[in-house]
Amino acid sequence: MATKKIRMGMIGGGKNAFIGAIHRAAANMDGLIELVCGAFSSNAQTSIESGIALGLPENRIYASYEEMIQKESQLPSDKRMQFVSIVTPNHAHFAPAMLALENGFNVMLEKPMTFSLDEAKQLKKKVEETGLLLGLAHTYSGYPMVKQAKQMIKENVLGKIRKLYVEYPQGWLSELSEKENNKQAAWRTDPTKSGKAGAMGDIGTHAAHLAEYISGLKITKICADINTIVEGRVLDDDGSVLLKFDNGASGVLIATQVAAGEENNLRINIYGEKGGLEWHQQEPNTLLIKWKDAPAQIYRTGNGYLSSVAKHNTRTPGGHPEGYIEAFANIYRNFALTLNAKIDGETPTPEMLDFPTVDDGVRGMAFIDNVIVSGLLEKKWFDFIE
Amino acid sequence: MATKKIRMGMIGGGKNAFIGAIHRAAANMDGLIELVCGAFSSNAQTSIESGIALGLPENRIYASYEEMIQKESQLPSDKRMQFVSIVTPNHAHFAPAMLALENGFNVMLEKPMTFSLDEAKQLKKKVEETGLLLGLAHTYSGYPMVKQAKQMIKENVLGKIRKLYVEYPQGWLSELSEKENNKQAAWRTDPTKSGKAGAMGDIGTHAAHLAEYISGLKITKICADINTIVEGRVLDDDGSVLLKFDNGASGVLIATQVAAGEENNLRINIYGEKGGLEWHQQEPNTLLIKWKDAPAQIYRTGNGYLSSVAKHNTRTPGGHPEGYIEAFANIYRNFALTLNAKIDGETPTPEMLDFPTVDDGVRGMAFIDNVIVSGLLEKKWFDFIE
Amino acid sequence: MATKKIRMGMIGGGKNAFIGAIHRAAANMDGLIELVCGAFSSNAQTSIESGIALGLPENRIYASYEEMIQKESQLPSDKRMQFVSIVTPNHAHFAPAMLALENGFNVMLEKPMTFSLDEAKQLKKKVEETGLLLGLAHTYSGYPMVKQAKQMIKENVLGKIRKLYVEYPQGWLSELSEKENNKQAAWRTDPTKSGKAGAMGDIGTHAAHLAEYISGLKITKICADINTIVEGRVLDDDGSVLLKFDNGASGVLIATQVAAGEENNLRINIYGEKGGLEWHQQEPNTLLIKWKDAPAQIYRTGNGYLSSVAKHNTRTPGGHPEGYIEAFANIYRNFALTLNAKIDGETPTPEMLDFPTVDDGVRGMAFIDNVIVSGLLEKKWFDFIE
Amino acid sequence: MATKKIRMGMIGGGKNAFIGAIHRAAANMDGLIELVCGAFSSNAQTSIESGIALGLPENRIYASYEEMIQKESQLPSDKRMQFVSIVTPNHAHFAPAMLALENGFNVMLEKPMTFSLDEAKQLKKKVEETGLLLGLAHTYSGYPMVKQAKQMIKENVLGKIRKLYVEYPQGWLSELSEKENNKQAAWRTDPTKSGKAGAMGDIGTHAAHLAEYISGLKITKICADINTIVEGRVLDDDGSVLLKFDNGASGVLIATQVAAGEENNLRINIYGEKGGLEWHQQEPNTLLIKWKDAPAQIYRTGNGYLSSVAKHNTRTPGGHPEGYIEAFANIYRNFALTLNAKIDGETPTPEMLDFPTVDDGVRGMAFIDNVIVSGLLEKKWFDFIE
């Protein structure tokens, strides 16, 4: 355990923002990270009010991210923030992230990583140049039973993987909520803020990341049906994608925001030669393992029979459910542990390094590009290009 | 209630056959139908032994279906069978069905209805000519909660339908079982017995029928990924299909027989503007209705709040589960009630007429043709032709 | 398989009766039993109308059970009924059952077996004298996964049993429905028809039977809290009972008919030294087996890994749910197979003999007596007397 | 939102302790509380190492709780801890809690509150004298859907409550783990550390608190069957209790630690005249509401249709599961918000005051006393004395 807390700054996440508060709860949870500064809003007044409400001293609350990065850089190295968490809408990811990296600050970013694939690649280049850390909030891969699933596939427990189905139905954009003062809906459906894609960027990237993360496979071909279902909407709010993977497996990815009545019903099923697995985000502490000629098994978070990686990402004993914030906190914790190891001149363990990085971010932006193009094409299969 | 039992003959379904015994249990259940004769096997000795085991008199056990149809035709009208149930493999559906119709016998057929679309159309023509009944064993549409789902969509409870996902994963063909003395596997994977399609014919047609039955929509375009996963197999054992429907809705159909560890995990989710529904064949007495801004509801078989059509297809009060044989028996019962009404010169009610017919059979054979062609094409969307 | 159908007569179960139709469907299912006669109502006209609707010839429809037993006795032995199924209310079980036994007819009875424990013991004596069969409709022990559970405990898979919890909540008597023209409610809450107990007789006996059947244990001590919750009701509609078993295990039995919103939510949990099991009647094809240090397992009806006794009581392959009528039919089938074996001079197998008998009936009536007495006592533990 | 973090000290919860880490994660989560000091172990060296690992300055790490309370008292009021969280075994609750109160510190305590009922009453007296806050970690009542359940009953949505069943099966003490170096098992089964009761104190108190919290009722009579199942164990590891409530309702409480294969399978079912509810701790974001004549409803955390109290205790939108640590954090947050309000001279809102207090602690200790006595008695009903 670290003896010093890692110092975090935050960009975005002011009053009334949704995801910023989740980031802070996740960062807080393990006592490894301390919020020391922030530029919480593009509105200076809002930023200050937000920072005060969070108990920050006024001299560490900034009117803009540029000011924050500049002023923090001038603080003594044992005072200034050590990484910045960027929780703004998509179009406002790249500039602060790049500026932070250029000024020597590690970065934690909301997904999708950037507004465009090109931006993503620039960030990747900069990360490689600087050797700094860039973490990405693909929360769902932070759940312990997702780790368990990945480990079991890695150990070939299910045999060669043949089929992968992932679906992420939401219902919250079933109406034209962006016209009804729903701030979350407004920017996510606005191509100037969200990017090329709506549903595919917002949740399709989550589904794709989860699929590749658990299976260890890479998508190589896609055939996408991309739709804008709600009249008056500009970006896609729905899509279904046939998939081919690099080992010959095939599958389907579904992401829709017009499945009225669904919350965040992300589900994945993967089948190998010997058996299959099933995981549901809404009941995340259960992992079903299905066998060809034997009873299915219910793996549950917190039990002694789990892999060490699942245990590393768990805080409570069996039967005490871990949730979304814990999954999120696993990303922050692993990020902080890695950062601490680096600061201490130690080599981070594979378990510490188990958080989404700039590579996953590039992959996600490529997914958006590919899937939108495929959706427009008349031909069936489109080679996934990164 | 009928005062005379309808007299049934059976073709196929001899000793050790799987589905014949289910048909008989289903036909027996309500006391409306009596098995009076059969040609239970292409092997005369097996047919006789099977018939004796079923308690039939020897003079009503036949060595071939041709003999049965001929001899039954010569019996007095109050003795001879009134319909024939054909439970042979696919390639042996058409000939006995046609001969039965030509000789004035009504027909109940296993699905898919025939070996080819052309045969299906011939049967349809003959049914139209003769005015006889042809029922089809698309069992899953016989479940009470499927009826409830259909009724609710018909009454626009969910609003205009936008998305439909149906999946039917099985695992029993995860290995090359057809080479291991598995009789069921052997004919179902043999193109000379099964027809053009394997998984798509065996279970894809079920999924497609269920989708159209519940939604009241018709598939108009498809984009299919059809695979033969297990090495050494000839027909498809797996497929995923993007769908477009005649009202503009879209969706996905998945049918696979290599999902190791799955039994008959048929599931359907349909979403309209106001809400969605979810039904699982393996827990068939529960229908989930999901709402945009209200708690989801659990509709359960046998309760007073259900539609009259659901009640008509239920035998037990709430909390006493109905299963697969009851769903099957609903097809037989409605078929028998319709036949009785016709015999009595009465007009069958819509509830009696609620069983799959020759039209569904043609539709299913068209599905096979379309999906196999689409699977071979390089273009994405293929117009569904019937 | 039998070559001749067993001939069944029925007492009770006329038009609009609930359970009679279930008995007939169950008896019909396997083609082993044929309904040949009946006295379907104490009202002669109703009996005749019911019999005609069931397709019986008029000369086999009787105005009273006495007439039926007398006239059937006079028929040639290859014509007359071979057993009688009695599906009347509790107070009308004993007399026809005794008369049938006295006239050489085997008997299938609804539960609880009689109106009083004394009657039950008389029946038992008569069965022992005559060597005739008496079967009892404790349906829930007919489910395949209940058989599987019993077998696993018998084989000591869970180790020595320590705890057993069984609960049967229903909600249908949450109001004073017996005053609102609910025929089922009327007789079940009427001490002149139901007997000493209401809920404890109707469903408590089911729970007790299931507990003893699966565990192989006998209840030795009880401590009962028996309540009449709905004002104006005469008999108990609710009870909770602490239990001690003959091997030292302890547990709880809950039976209530005022659990508003419940259907037939019968559930049993049994724990041994090594693990536990859980079964729910409303999802009867799943049996959970829980382990101390390993993932729980989901046993499912129709799979190859099940015990032979579970398979013997199953008609469909895995993933095709069996329901309440199938469980019921298992009792009828085993009863018919046993009867056939006896007729053929063969020794019935243990699997054939696996249906509730007169001994279970006596046990159930003793349960009612004991639990009602215990409910009245001020002392905690009451020795279960049979 | 508070602008200053509440300063917390901790007693117990050193390295390798289980529940201390959970308390810290819960206290950390909302950024309202800051750990400023601790006496983490009765072993001074362990305390220091633990504190350093937590990033505390050495001068705020104490060798004993006495030292901590003394030294913290001498710090300036804007530096010293504002409350102390006591996470030691039961026998070490009272002394530090009392000393803290005597020195003007608010207290958060693990449950059961004390070693004996007498101690509990002394604490209550002291709390009343001092006007300080005492919070108690009955975590399960912190879940949002538990709040929702309580609110719905309070609003009479289910009608007058008639039946309440609560069960808490665990399996972790199925063996004599206390003899196998299991630290948690060792003290919990040791009467000198745990108190009069084992399972009844550890989890029976949770079940009783949950029952009274949700229902708003008070237990008035009990009839307990208390057992020590595992040979060689001293305290009870199992019990079942018949219950009567102050409104005339009745029910059952089950708490066992020998249910091999169970984790923390706490479940509650409550039935009123109009309907019932069901909640499972292991899937805590779902609350089933069952209706007499309508489909059951699935209430889910994070949705707009929930009560304001449920929303107040939720951090994430619907479909993003909240877990055990969030439930725990709700207690800490409400405690901190109340403390802040008091510090600011404001009246805490009912929502702030919604955490278990010294009254619940006395109630829990009374439950232990009553249930252990009842278990020893030969008479059935024992009046619950507080």
Same domain, D152 and D65: no
Chain C residue numbers with beta carbons less than 8 Å from the beta carbon of B169 are none
Contact B289 D299 (CB under 8 A): no
Give me the pLDDT at residue C195, please.
Answer: 94
CA distance D172 to chain C (A): 8
In a domain, B358, yes or no: no
From C195's Cα to the closest Cα of chain D, the distance in A is 24
Peptide bond connecting A350 to the previous residue in cis, omega within 30 degrees of 0: no
Q: Does position A247 have pLDDT exceeding 60, yes or no?
A: yes
Amino acid identity, position A79: K
- In a domain, residue C356? The reply is no
Residue B2: the pLDDT is 42
Query: pLDDT at residue A1 above 80?
Result: no
Number of domains making up chain D? 2
- Select the residue from D36, D279, D280, D282 to test the A interface by mutation, using most A Cβ atoms within 10 A: D282
Pairing of β C382-383 and β C296-300: unpaired
Segment D245-259, tens digit of pLDDT: 999 999 999 999 999
Would you call B282 and C21 a contact, using CB atoms and an 8 Å cutoff?
no
The answer to whether the CB atoms of D55 and A5 lie below 8 A apart is yes
pLDDT band at D373 (very low <50, low <70, confident <90, very high): very high
Please judge whether D29 and A4 are an interchain contact, meaning their C-beta atoms are less than 8 angstroms apart: no
Q: Give the chains touching A; criterion: ≥3 Cβ pairs < 8 Å.
A: B, C, D
Eight-class DSSP state of A22: H
Encoding tokens for residue A313? 């990402």
Same domain, B250 and B305: yes
- Contact between B287 and B299 under an 8 Å Cβ cutoff? The reply is yes
Best mutation target, B303, B306, B307, to test chain D (most D CBs within 10 A):
B303
Position A16 scores a pLDDT of 76
Does one domain contain both D277 and D147? Answer: yes
Mutation target for B interface from A225, A297, A298: give the one with most B CBs within 10 A: A225
Q: Taking CB atoms and an 8 Å cutoff, what residues of chain C touch D259? A: 163, 269, 271, 276
Classify residue B82 as left (phi > 0), alpha (psi -120 to 50) or beta.
Answer: alpha
Record: contact B305-D293, CB cut-off 8 A: yes
Arithmetic mean of pLDDT, C178-201: 92
* Residue C251: strand pairing partners: C164, C243
Of the candidates D69, D328, D371, the one whose C-alpha atom is nearest the C-alpha of residue D204 is D371
Q: What three-state secondary structure class fits B327?
A: helix
Tell whether the model's pLDDT for residue B155 goes beyond 80.
yes
Say which of C28, C55, C283 has its CB closest to residue B29.
C28
* Contact residues, chain A, for B163 at CB < 8 Å: 229, 238, 256, 258-259
Same domain, D33 and D133: yes
Question: pLDDT tens for residues A211-227?
Answer: 999 999 999 999 999 99
Contact A29 D31 (CB under 8 A): no
Query: What confidence score (pLDDT) does residue B152 get?
Result: 98
Q: Is the peptide bond before B348 cis (omega within 30 degrees of 0)?
A: no
- Tokens 């934690």, located at residue: A108
Quick one: average pLDDT of D372-385?
98
- Looking at the domain assignment, is residue C310 inside a domain? yes
Distance (Å, whole) CA C152 – CA C287? 11
CA–CA distance, B296 with B289 (Å, rounded to integer): 6
* Per-residue model confidence as pLDDT tens digits over B248-285: 999 999 999 999 999 999 999 999 999 999 999 999 99
Task: Give the type of residue at C196.
Answer: K
Nearest to D325 among A284, A315, A318 (CB): A315
Mutation to test the D interface, candidates A257, A326, A340, most D Cβ within 10 Å: A326
Statement to judge: residues A192 and A157 lie in one domain: yes
Do D155 and D134 share a domain, yes or no? no
- Neighboring chain D residues of C256 at a CB cutoff of 8 Å: 163, 271
Partners of residue B296 in chain D, C-beta under 8 Å: 297-298, 300
Q: What is the ipTM of this complex?
A: 0.96
Contacts with A5 from chain D: Cβ below 8 Å: 55
Q: Which CATH number belongs to the domain containing residue A250 in this structure?
A: 3.30.360.10
CA nearest to C287 within chain A: A295
Nearest to D29 among A28, A264, A300 (CB): A28
Q: How far is CA D105 from CA A98, D10, D81, D120, in A?
A: 47, 12, 8, 17
Q: Are residues B372 and B223 in the same domain?
A: yes
- Distance between CA atoms of C247 and C161, rounded to whole angstroms? 8
B148 and B105 in a single domain? The answer is no
Q: Does B242 sit within 8 Å of A225, measured CB to CB?
A: yes
**pLDDT at residue A3, as a whole number:** 55
Are A298 and C298 in contact (CB < 8 Å)?
Answer: yes
Residues of D in contact with C149 (CB under 8 A): none
Q: What average pLDDT does the segment B377-383 reach?
A: 98
Query: Is residue C282 a part of any domain in this protein?
Result: yes
| Contact between chains at A31 and D18 (C-beta distance less than 8 A) | no
Residues of A in CB contact (< 8 Å) with B are 158-159, 162-163, 165, 167, 169, 171, 174-175, 223, 225, 227, 229, 238, 240, 242, 250-252, 254, 256, 258-262, 269, 271-276, 289-292, 296, 377-381
Q: Which residues of A touch B171 (CB under 8 A)?
A: 271, 276, 290, 292
D11 to chain A, closest Cα gap in Å? 17
The enclosing domain of A31 has a CATH number of: 3.40.50.720
In which residue are the tokens 């063969």 written? C346
D296: chain C residues, CB-CB within 8 Å: 261
Evaluate if residue D225 carries a pLDDT over 60: yes
Reading the block at residue A331, the tokens are: 């990303």
Q: pLDDT tens, A168-194?
A: 999 999 999 998 888 889 999 999 999
Structure confidence by residue, pLDDT tens digits, C15-68: 877 789 999 999 999 999 999 999 999 999 999 999 999 989 999 999 999 999
Helix (H) or strand (E) holding C286: strand C286-291
The pLDDT of C101-118, averaged and rounded, is: 97
For testing contact with chain D, the best of C164, C253, C262, C265 (most D CBs within 10 A): C262
- Whether D29 shows a pLDDT value over 60: the answer reads yes
Chain-chain contact of A305 with C294 (C-beta, under 8 angstroms): yes
Co-location of D136 and D181 in the same domain: no
Report how far Cα C340 is from the mean position of its chain's Cα atoms. 21
Q: Could you report the per-residue pLDDT of C328-369, keeping only the tens digit for each?
A: 999 999 999 999 999 999 999 999 999 999 999 999 999 999
**Separation of alpha carbons A181 and A188, rounded Å:** 13
Which chain A residue shows the shortest CA-CA distance from B256? A163
For residues D84 and D10, is the Cβ–Cβ distance under 8 A? yes
Are residues B190 and B304 located together in one domain of the fold? yes
pLDDT band at D3; cut points 50, 70, 90:
low
pLDDT for residue C181: 84
The whole-number pLDDT of residue C1 equals: 41
Residue C3, pLDDT score: 55
Touching subunits of B (3+ CB pairs, under 8 Å) are A, C, D
β-bridge partners, C227: C238
Range of the domain at C68: 6-138+330-345
Q: What burial class does residue D346 get, using C-beta atoms within 10 Å of its C-beta: 0-12 exposed, 13-18 middle, 19+ buried?
A: exposed
Asked whether residue C61 is domain-assigned, the answer is yes
C353 is a domain residue: no
Question: Which positions in chain D touch A1 (Cβ < 8 Å)?
Answer: 53-54
* Residue A244 sits in the same domain as residue A193: yes
The whole-angstrom separation of Cα A371 and Cα A381 is 11
Residue C22 lies in a domain: yes
| A96 in any annotated domain | yes
Please give the model's pTM, rounded to 2 decimal places.
0.97
Is pLDDT above 50 for D1?
Answer: no
Residue A263 has, within 13 A of its CA and on its CB side, a CA count of 22
Tally B–D CB contacts below 8 A.
34
How many pairs of residues across A and D have Cβ atoms under 8 Å apart? 128
Q: Which residue of A has its CA nearest to B249?
A: A229
> What residues of C are in the B interface, CB distance below 8 Å?
1-5, 18, 21-22, 24-25, 28-31, 35, 52-55, 170, 262-265, 281-285, 300, 302-303, 315-326
Cα separations (Å) of A76 from A11, A73, A79, B88, C321?
21, 8, 5, 84, 69
Residues A210 and A234 in one domain: yes
